[in-house]
Amino acid sequence: MTPLVGAKITALGTYVPPRLLTNDDLEKMVDTTNDWILERTGIRERHIVDKGVASSDLAFEAANAILKQRGIAPTEIETILVATVTPDMLFPSTACLVQEKLGAKGAWGFDVSAACSGFLFTLQTAVQFVQTGAHKKVLAIGADVMSSIINYEDRATCVIFGDGAGAVLVEPAEDGDPNVFIDYIHEIDGSGGCSLYMPAGGSKHPSSHETVDKKMHYVHQDGQAVFKYAVRKMAEVSEKLLQRNGLTGHDLDLFIPHQANRRIIMSAAERLGMPEDKVVINIGEYGNTTAGTIPLAMGTAREQGKLKKGSLVLLASVGAGFTVGATLLRWGAED
Ligand code: COA
């Protein structure tokens, strides 16, 4: 479908809590080593919230940075979309909490649950609202406090995840502006539900002494099953998106993938024929922040001077569900 209006990213905001949890710290908590974590995942450290800090707090910081950058009042925001698997609570939505914290009076919005693909699914939802002409200023936010659902006695999961948030503002482009969203392919595949999930706290297993005793309120993961699926699907969906737009990896300025594991990223990048200097990897500093990884990686690319107005960028993700996403765009924000 040809959009009525081009949609573009006009601003980016990111936030991570200041406290660090390093591999050295984890060596003292579980039976692991810095070498194992670095070699198997590429992670050196991650940022972790202090007690009482929730996803809406991180989301607010990222969104507020955007308002300052664009010099716009909170009341100009029409829609707030928040991707998260760690909402402050089951309801109200984190979007409502962010709306209140920002003072975005008159906005509407909601949460999107798609785990590590949450940011891309949220971004596409924002793009649709702009492309149809329904809204002119939409915030797409990815925010997760993964430390709130991690078992820090389980070495297989606690080394991977961190806390963080990022947001972009999506606005209409002027006629003829090439720096817009180009195309996307997103998929869900529920057959992977049992490979990565949090069993308790929902309607199937409401929280109880039993669910807590059985540690069902934490992330449960079959790491190898997720790894194999992610390696296959991230490359597959990315290649499909490039092909149908008559492009190859060589045409791209940047590949900004979800940061789950350095080996997953490099395997997808190799399949796409992307040289390492065009692949954004910041998992070493942040770990896997779930819905936060892609905007945080955009922030890293911008700091490194690699993400510029007009850059042709491929975003890609695989997450729990399974959820899969690939988005092709030209970066629209001023440098
Ligand atoms: N430190 C040291 N050893 C560890 C460890 C840790 N933190 N975690 C697991 N191990 C051990 C395992 O117990 C196993 O030991 P064994 O051979 O004696 O049984 C060994 O390391 C290999 O485990 P395995 O699970 O095969 O390792 P792996 O190479 O697959 O790496 C993951 C594990 C989790 C890093 C990897 O599977 C992965 O990244 N999966 C995808 C996870 C992901 O991206 N999740 C988010 C979805 S977006």
Q: What is the identity of the amino acid at 26?
A: L
Instruction: From the candidates 116, 158, 261, 282, give the one annotated as an active-site residue.
Output: 116
Contact criterion met (CB below 8 Å) for 251 and 312: yes
| CB-count exposure of residue 95 (10 Å: 0-12, 13-18, 19+) | buried
- What's the rounded mean pLDDT across residues 32-52? 98
What residue type is assigned to position 335 of the chain?
A: D
- Residue extents of the structural domains in the chain: 7-172, 181-330
pLDDT of residue 2: 79
- Rounded to 10 deg, the angle between the 55-70 and 94-102 helix axes is 40
Domain range 181-330, CATH class: alpha beta
DSSP 3-state assignment of 96? helix
323: confidence class by pLDDT, cuts 50, 70, 90: very high
Once rounded to an integer, what is the mean pLDDT over residues 59-79? 97
Three-class secondary structure of residue 11 per DSSP: strand
Distance in Å, CA 221 to ligand 1 centroid: 10
With bands split at pLDDT 50, 70 and 90, how would you rate the model's confidence at 335? confident
* 139-178 per-position pLDDT tens digit: 999 999 999 999 999 999 999 999 999 999 999 999 999 9
- Tell me what pLDDT residue 3 has: 82
CA of 38 to the centre of ligand 1 (A): 12
Minimal-distance CA residue to ligand 1 atom 41: 227
Which of 29, 227, 264, 281 to mutate for ligand 1's pocket (most ligand atoms within 8 Å of CB)? 227
For the question of residue 151 being annotated catalytic, the response is no
> pLDDT digits over 265-283, tens only?
999 999 999 999 999 999 9
Q: Report angle CA 197, 198, 202 to the nearest 5 degrees.
A: 125
CATH classification for the domain delimited by 7-172, as one of 3.20.20.70, 3.40.220.10, 3.40.47.10, 3.40.640.10: 3.40.47.10
Answer yes or no: same fold for 7-172 and 181-330.
yes
